[in-house]
Structure 1
């Protein structure tokens, strides 16, 4: 049974933007602005990261068009380097990255629900699990329903963010004086190298997730047209939104009044909406987090599905639901692992373990363009993949310089997938048939 192509351009753009715009935009601009000390430097970092992400999006759009099947990076790595590297990526996704991200975002959304509604401590403990189970049910029932819910949430999210920007100026709370001078660095800023390094890593985290649209390529209608448009338009729109929101924040709360990330959100909400500001901003943050979670929990199970179809994972996860046409068992696996992670906590450590390795796989996926049988004939080639590889290398180097132990431990956890593959799936390695490039066209 083949997956149905039900995702249009709007839904695919929603995946790109939904994965990128989540909790980060409400937290990172404060720390970035305070360390950089200059609105112009802040804009330069956002634009620089947007350029790197756009180069990556161009690479991924070409790969998605050539291999428009469920799995995204798993498929690209398999076609470029073979089953071993692809399995290690799938192992990282299934065992650590996807459940860790889902659990962390669910836990991160809970305080904002608590702030809006108020609830007992006993009920609060169950909220993250209820969020994960609700999203699983939505994705289990069908792509059409989950696509509509995700697209609606992400359109609302973008609308809310743009309304915050507009209201900041219309209400008179914003003033140009708060962001002037644009270039001069404020007193108390960090040394320039450390500031740019930290801001670059924070910007990458905020942009992270744009590549997830490749995982649902098997469900996108007219992939030759829609996938490149979704990748490039999604990244460009995210860059514009981040610039607008960051400058709106700074025009309301000047740099010298920023104390911390969380205090900054409260300051901004109180400045715009008075005593109700905390609840209003909590609603905005919650909408962003849930939109990102919807996109991620839709995309992640497609990797397990693709691996199982290859014989590189347990076959039960390669089956589609006979009625809904979704990888239902893979959805249940992803949700079950995320619920398990909730029991252990320490999500920030889990995330720090996988970031370094995740960037390595991003770079390897883009570099697979150089290994395709049919050469790439695009106006941006080979400049885009070279710039993207350079950007990934710089970010990984910054991570190693800042805190090498979690990065190396994460890499070790990924390499542990090699013996797992050898003992459980070695007999299936020869069963994988390469996918012809530009299949379906």
Structure 2
């Protein structure tokens, strides 16, 4: 593995954890879940259940990041645990297929809110996603230290705005505790209980999704033994607090009975808190959340492609660092080009629908590598944390299969396409062993 200078501190690592977990969904998912579940208590329990799953996963990823403090995340862990072929399938799925789709989806989601803030023509709105992706690509090309500082600032500002939003709802007198009551009984018009809970669990998983991305920049984080566990566990705790507080603020300002749709909710909530300026104020909040998410994604995702190339599993050009800036410049350009390609095809929604099932399976497989390490794991949480995390992943994968099996199975087919691709790229695999730092 080529040497990377460790230029990122704890703030940047936490920003990656919170950046992707708190993005566009923060303003849409809680409202949709509340309307479907019809009970503030049920909504809170699902958030807490997802936080428990994420904490179990964070303990697993913290241990793996300490043992293998190199950039690449799951690709590195799966390679050490199961060998190059399974790791390559993950790298192909995530770096070449999934992350370009996620980046495109975030950029497209930001465009309508940008039009609420700036006087943009319809043509300008249509090209805004391309500009957004190009901007963050440029920032990441300028250097790890600079891009990390910008990402940290964007995500700290985002958290400050979200907590201030909750505070303003209380101080302004628009939040009323009786809007949350009764906590337990379900409101009229709620969905059937079993589909509502199943849909709520899947939505909550999507909302929390991304906390694991800090593992991908582990090779560039200073003092990884200290900072990476703090980033994972502290980041998940912050994400949990944000979703619980924002959900409580939403429902204390707008009772469940008044919720119409998740898209109209942003305008409803902003109108109550800020009057005629509400739509614009909330649009700025949404843009901050989305930009923080894109900043974290565009920093973390190229490190998978970089790690693949470093191990000899991908074209060598993508495993090179810029001699002066220290960034994997070719990997960043490839990720951006793929994201722009997904935008041009308008296929980001299909990409995400197809790949999410496989992504959950790879999360569970990553946790199982703790049972395959040469040196046994010694921690108060082992083996219960990985067992519980794997079980939760299995439940979510089953729910996704039950909800819509065809896209999930199509996604498995897309992942398996990586087998002939690997044979094309590596007719005679030669993997460079990774020097691990044992915990």
Category of TM-score, reference length = shorter chain: over 0.9
- 1:31-430 to 2 correspondences below 5 Å: 31-427=32-428, 429=429
Query: Any idea what SS the aligned residue of 2:326 has?
Result: coil
Residues of 1 paired with 2:434 and 2:133: CA distance? 34
Residues of 2 paired with 1:423 and 1:361: CA distance? 23
Note the C-alpha offset of 1:95: 2.2
Could you report, residue by residue, the CA deviation over 1:341-384 in whole angstroms, capped at 9, with x for unpaired residues? 11011322211111000001100001110010100001100010
Residues of 2 paired with 1:247 and 1:276: CA distance? 22
Query: Any idea what SS the aligned residue of 1:378 has?
Result: coil
Could you report, residue by residue, the CA deviation over 1:107-150 in whole angstroms, capped at 9, with x for unpaired residues? 11111111111211222222111111110111111011001100
Select between 225-234 and 180-189 the one with higher mean Cα deviation: 180-189
Residues of 2 paired with 1:158 and 1:248: CA distance? 15
Note the C-alpha offset of 1:10: 1.2
What is the aligned partner in structure 2 of residue 437 from structure 1?
436
Note the C-alpha offset of 1:94: 2.4
How many residues end up aligned between the 2 structures?
438
Note the C-alpha offset of 1:426: 2.5
* Paired residues of 2:65 and 2:218 also in contact (CA < 8 A): yes
RMSD: 1.0
Could you report, residue by residue, the CA deviation over 1:303-344 in whole angstroms, capped at 9, with x for unpaired residues? 011000111000000000011000000000000111111101
Note the C-alpha offset of 1:58: 0.5
TM-score (norm 2): 0.98
Query: Any idea what SS the aligned residue of 1:332 has?
Result: helix
Residues of 2 paired with 1:331 and 1:141: CA distance? 11
Residues of 2 paired with 1:68 and 1:437: CA distance? 7
Give the ranges of 4+ consecutive aligned residues of structure 1 lying more than 6 Å apart after TM superposition: none
Select between 397-406 and 341-350 the one with higher mean Cα deviation: 341-350
Residues of 1 paired with 2:347 and 2:258: CA distance? 30
Note the C-alpha offset of 1:432: 1.2
TM-score (norm 1): 0.98
Query: Any idea what SS the aligned residue of 1:426 has?
Result: coil
Residues of 1 paired with 2:417 and 2:142: CA distance? 34
